[in-house]
Amino acid sequence: MLNRYSQSGLVLFGVALYGGPVLAGVAGHGWSVLPVFVALFLLYVTATRRPDLAKPEGWAGLAMMAAGQLGLAVLAWTVGMLVAGLAGAIMLPLWAPIAITAAAAGSGAWAHRDAAEMNVMLDSAIRAIEDLSLPQTDPLNGGWPESTVEIRTALDVALDRLRALPHLNAGFVDPIVQALEAVTGADAFDAFYDAAGQEDDDNEPGVDLGLLRYIASPAVLIALIDRGEGGLAPQLLLDAPNASVRAEARARVADLVEAGAPDDQLPDPDWLDTLERRFPDEGYRLLAMTCVQD
């Protein structure tokens, strides 16, 4: 089952959403189509981030969103035009790229209505699309790690052991994830993240807790912060079905704050206030006070 917040899910979503203007550029459609894409982007973003238009700050935020979506639309369309100039334009009716973006914007707004979750997802999707245009680099020379056979095998062993645990607590989980870290360092994170955070009957609390205990290692957490991924796992699991997993996710957010992680790797305080109402007396409001962003 595809996790909508996994890297693969984010890439698929981003390709559909931002692929429309790229295809419009490749097909040679003129700049007059850009307002349509800007409107779709803005409709999607406002539906998920919900600016408060009763306040001046809400209108200012809407204006900033509009400017940002205009920039994204122009960038994507320009990339398409460059591709058309290098490889030749393709024959594509104007409605096709618009329909692709409209379908992604509509389904995304419906499926991801939580404002703070979408802040995380949208930023991650944009980074994923940007990564698609970058050449793959050697991990030994500064690139992001690939899931080698050794990493995948070590993770599979850890996942099997986590799923077989008789009790869900850190005392059982820590030896498993520490053994994984000894083999992979922080390089197992991306594949581990994809395995966690499943929904409904597919949810596996042992795997979720294992991911959070894996990044509890200071060495792993600092490596992830440096890669811009420090906040992904905690924000994925702050609303997990299992109370122990939620508590561990809150602890990892506190670790991020203590480690000086940048604001874009911390959860939105408004979302934490929403979680306080869903899970009263679990400490989300106090956590929100530590995550005040500029």
Average pLDDT over residues 46-72: 70
Angle, CA 143 vertex, CA 138 and CA 148 arms, to 5°: 65
249-271 pLDDT, tens digit per residue, is: 999 999 999 898 998 899 888 88
- The Cα-based distances of 284 to 112, 231, 246, 287 in angstroms read 21, 16, 10, 5
171-200 pLDDT, tens digit per residue, is: 889 999 999 999 999 999 999 999 998 888
Supply the pLDDT for residue 3. 46
Supply the pLDDT for residue 136. 43
Supply the pLDDT for residue 195. 92
Higher pLDDT, 208 or 56: 208
Asked whether 68 and 54 are in contact (CB, 8 A), the reply is no
Q: How far apart (Å, rounded) are the C-alpha atoms in residues 140 and 142?
A: 6
- Helices and strands per DSSP (H, E), number in the chain: 14, 0
For residue 232, the one-letter residue type is: L
What is the pTM for the complete model shown? 0.54
Q: How far apart (Å, rounded) are the C-alpha atoms in residues 117 and 131?
A: 21
Could you tell me the pLDDT band of residue 5, with boundaries at 50, 70 and 90? very low
Supply the pLDDT for residue 11. 58
Question: How many CB atoms are closer than 10 A to CB 105?
Answer: 23
- The Cα-based distances of 253 to 127, 203, 272 in angstroms read 21, 21, 11
Q: In degrees rounded to 5, what are phi and psi of residue 164?
A: -95, 0
Q: What's the token pair of residue 206?
A: 């042992």
Supply the pLDDT for residue 123. 53
Q: What's the token pair of residue 203?
A: 């949810």
